[in-house]
Structure 1
């Protein structure tokens, strides 16, 4: 029998679930930290809506059964006292899940959904509850797809709420859920204008490569199948993005397929006019070249390219009466440096740890000649020797200053002893929030000291040659003062002695870094440390000593709290 010539309308199941008939449960959580399993939920807020209309709302504080950190209180306004009488998460979760009523036509929505979903799943798992595994929509991802960067400077919830005329977020769960619901309405309107009317069509947006990706597949043609660095460039020749790979052609081709789902990178691909390869002899050379090119060109689509040279450091100044200062630039003036830090707050926490241990002045003005009555309250508390009014000579002040320098560069035990004793005292007095502040100070100091001492250990070595097996070949590198000076690949049948002599003879000459630090960016030296410490690596030549201090921060890594250096 012949098939009918006229079109046949499919069933509703074949057409998909209309977005207008989909129930969206928009949720927001407030928590004590960033990692589920370690941090706890303090508030849940949710809005249930369909076809743009709010059906119901849910809101509840949650007792995390642990003190709310000061940093979380500062952000959300939620204090330990506010949640002490609130129900625990074991009681709030079932109520939330009943409110959500997750079914086949219900979608869980959140702004930066992986964060909220991870906390909800972890809470269910820790209390023996089944996570219903609903369909999830991330408004952050959808906004990056539908709201171009020319329209907004960023895709934060507050920015998008202003664009779509939604309620402003306040870092309280229900307010932020309402803001995200307003943003969702605006995004769904944009989807309809693009002909996306069903949940299945919306979900397919995430998997399919964009037209821009498909139209630029030819940019991978002719690239070598070798290790190296690749640069995406726009029509004017400006560098958009820098990456590395052990196989340049295969890696670049992946940017033009459905496997590449990062919204920023898809946007970058749409602007690219060419891909320039730089072939490297070894994978470690490719990694170092990538770091150097990112630092040099600051490509806009590399997330870690935001002015790494402006990272904060903690300096013990080279003055008659040294002081601790957070600085952005290293100077070859005899100062002692600790860092680099991930942010100013981490540097300030480490500075507070040293101030708590050693009686160093905290004023920044000139204190010579001494002035009568110039001492501040710290002198009366015994926290400063008051050199500003002549109560302490330069020789006397040098004692705590030298001890602080030693803690920064070598033995950290004085800082550990002072702060752990104070933490224990506060904990016995049930002053947990204050104890957490001192814990974070100690952790920030130890994290920075461990990093700096590792950098100094390799930065002090004027010449080092090493080799690491890679399949049947060997990667051979020359490192001088913590900087990669030369790299080569030793293949079967090559003369290893001749290759090493040639590599050493042609290796880059490197000058020592400032204050005993490496002659390279910290990220490069850390890359080389990882390579040198990998299994199978053999040292071929070493000039000088390569060692960390016996009493250094490495031995206290168990005290480094993950959230102390945001």
Structure 2
């Protein structure tokens, strides 16, 4: 059975049936709180404060309540603000402070309300800043900006600009905006209703569609949003397919239905994705127990299906390994596959250029032969120029025997698998000599080669530490309680489950171990899965809060391995870049 055929059938998958609640929040049943503020200036960061709050609560096109209060800002109102709004410092004497107005306003709004404002970043920005200053938790309201929607819907022929006063006239608002909070909020209500009427005619009927609406979404694209209607609102993987059933694109999300629907209702700047949506005929989904399972399934499906619109489809095929051959006189070779041939492999590298830099670094640090072809003590030939340069002991003409040459090969092998200090010390010394001679370009080239070699060794050592473990069980706390469980064998995710809050996890661990996929490891540092999968699993394991439950084998990195050297070299390079930027 292929990975594509097995989707959704593994024992660690759970099916979820969609409900009517997953079809989005209907606009007709949504409570909107249309708010407007007056302030002493343009930015809370610059010291401006709120002087007036006005809001109107509407539902189903009906105004159900209003909120209004002046606010003592604790400072003088600038004269130009007083002229603009009519609010003077004298008017605010005796008004409540924001410390009492804001909690009352948030309580009046309710937790499920959708905030609406004209130029919402301004009003919401002031409210959030005030909440932070007063130590209040911001409820995380969904926000709708009528100015943004108007710019997408109203043409220049209809109104010269999208200011509130212009839109109020265009939509025939019953209240004229006058830079007072409640009147401006009342005018914004009429503008909102005019916008919603227009959007309803082109198929926007939910809050989710309203929040992501863009005029760049074509009617044909929007008509396809029904493809998401039966998808689950749960973590998982989705596959776009064309009319012939061929996979176009594979993605993952914590909410599959919401993410897929956004392809048909939100602006998509990537041209290739707009083309993909145009070709899509159906969308399949696989619900996953945990976000980690969804990420891994995505990688496997991309590798299996080779969808044309996933740029990662052929990434695995581009990986390059640096191999120290198993010969009497080993040499370094760039290869695409790891074989069970006794060789030592460094990497993998994501490009041939990086692998070549690492190879050159090892050649500079250790006098390994650079000639190609088999070489033995009984088949000698003339030495090349590297002998005269002191870059090779010339085993080709018998100048260096098998035992003497083996010392160099062992040092290169140790740099790849364990201790990189010799490699780093030799190349840093060479970099220093070149810099002292003012040969800065050559010094930079040596430094780049060293970085490539250290990164390759660090990747190899980090990956091998996990793939060498026959079995590992880990748990990570879930938001809201409970645990995400993962079983990993030789670096491959073979089982995943979610434990609900207040439920003992041990029975779930035992059940997961009993049903997890069995793994027969292959050869090399990646014996059971791809590099990307191992790196995803490692990233999950290394997150703060993840706990190791069970471990078979040893999961450890070399004491003097490449990981610490990689971080040190990166810090040195960052400091050098900063100093250069300062000098410039």
Q: 2:328–2:375: 8 Å Cα contact kept in structure 1?
A: no
Match of 2:534 in 1: 525
- Give the 3-state SS of the residue equivalent to 1:515 in structure 2: coil
Match of 1:558 in 2: 568
Question: Which of 355, 360, 383 is 1:352 aligned to?
Answer: 360
Quick one: structure 1 residues 271 and 286, their matched pair in 2 at CA, closer, same or farther if it must change by over 3 Å?
Answer: same
Deviations 1:331-361 (A, max 9, x none): 1212111112121110000000000011111
Match of 1:546 in 2: 555
1:526 Cα deviation (Å)? 0.6
Answering whether residue 485 of structure 2 is matched by residue 485 of structure 1, we say no
Q: 2:483–2:505: 8 Å Cα contact kept in structure 1?
A: no
Match of 1:507 in 2: 516
Match of 1:397 in 2: 405
- Give the 3-state SS of the residue equivalent to 1:253 in structure 2: helix
1:206 Cα deviation (Å)? 8.4
Match of 1:83 in 2: none
Answering whether residue 283 of structure 2 is matched by residue 275 of structure 1, we say yes
Deviates more, 1:436-445 or 1:388-397: 388-397
Match of 1:258 in 2: 266
1:493 Cα deviation (Å)? 4.7
Deviations 1:381-412 (A, max 9, x none): 22212222222222221111111011001111
- Structure-2 separation of matches of 1:260 and 1:283: 24
1:370 Cα deviation (Å)? 4.0
Q: 1:227–1:281: 8 Å Cα contact kept in structure 2?
A: yes
Deviations 1:421-446 (A, max 9, x none): 11111111111111111011011111
Deviations 1:80-111 (A, max 9, x none): xxxxxxxxxxxxxxxxxxxxxxxxxxxxxxxx
Q: 1:460–1:517: 8 Å Cα contact kept in structure 2?
A: no
1:317 Cα deviation (Å)? 1.3
For structure 2, which runs of at least 5 residues remain unmatched after alignment?
Answer: 1-212, 578-584
Deviations 1:476-496 (A, max 9, x none): 000111110111111135442
- Structure-2 separation of matches of 1:311 and 1:499: 37
- Structure-1 separation of matches of 2:277 and 2:353: 35
Answering whether residue 485 of structure 2 is matched by residue 476 of structure 1, we say yes
Answering whether residue 406 of structure 2 is matched by residue 411 of structure 1, we say no
TM-score computed with the length of structure 1 as normaliser: 0.61
- Give the 3-state SS of the residue equivalent to 2:348 in structure 1: coil
Deviations 1:100-149 (A, max 9, x none): xxxxxxxxxxxxxxxxxxxxxxxxxxxxxxxxxxxxxxxxxxxxxxxxxx
- Structure-2 separation of matches of 1:512 and 1:393: 37
Quick one: structure 1 residues 212 and 317, their matched pair in 2 at CA, closer, same or farther if it must change by over 3 Å?
Answer: farther
Answering whether residue 333 of structure 2 is matched by residue 333 of structure 1, we say no
Match of 1:192 in 2: none
For structure 1, which runs of at least 5 residues remain unmatched after alignment?
Answer: 1-204
Question: Which of 472, 484, 487 is 1:464 aligned to?
Answer: 472
Match of 2:75 in 1: none
Question: Which of 384, 397, 408 is 2:392 aligned to?
Answer: 384
Question: Which of 330, 345, 348 is 1:322 aligned to?
Answer: 330
1:366 Cα deviation (Å)? 1.8
- Structure-2 separation of matches of 1:502 and 1:460: 24
1:515 Cα deviation (Å)? 2.8
The alignment of Structure 1 onto Structure 2 pairs a total of residues equal to 360
Quick one: structure 1 residues 206 and 335, their matched pair in 2 at CA, closer, same or farther if it must change by over 3 Å?
Answer: farther
Q: 2:435–2:443: 8 Å Cα contact kept in structure 1?
A: yes
- Give the 3-state SS of the residue equivalent to 2:494 in structure 1: strand
1:307 Cα deviation (Å)? 4.1
1:528 Cα deviation (Å)? 0.6
Quick one: structure 1 residues 248 and 389, their matched pair in 2 at CA, closer, same or farther if it must change by over 3 Å?
Answer: same
- Give the 3-state SS of the residue equivalent to 2:498 in structure 1: strand
Q: 2:487–2:494: 8 Å Cα contact kept in structure 1?
A: yes
Deviations 1:505-563 (A, max 9, x none): 11111233423445211110110111011111111101111111111111112314699
Deviations 1:43-69 (A, max 9, x none): xxxxxxxxxxxxxxxxxxxxxxxxxxx
- Structure-1 separation of matches of 2:513 and 2:317: 29
Q: 2:472–2:550: 8 Å Cα contact kept in structure 1?
A: yes
Answering whether residue 541 of structure 2 is matched by residue 536 of structure 1, we say no
- Structure-2 separation of matches of 1:454 and 1:331: 20
Q: 1:513–1:520: 8 Å Cα contact kept in structure 2?
A: no
- Structure-1 separation of matches of 2:350 and 2:463: 15
Q: 1:486–1:508: 8 Å Cα contact kept in structure 2?
A: yes
Match of 1:455 in 2: 463
Deviates more, 1:345-354 or 1:208-217: 208-217
- Structure-1 separation of matches of 2:271 and 2:214: 9
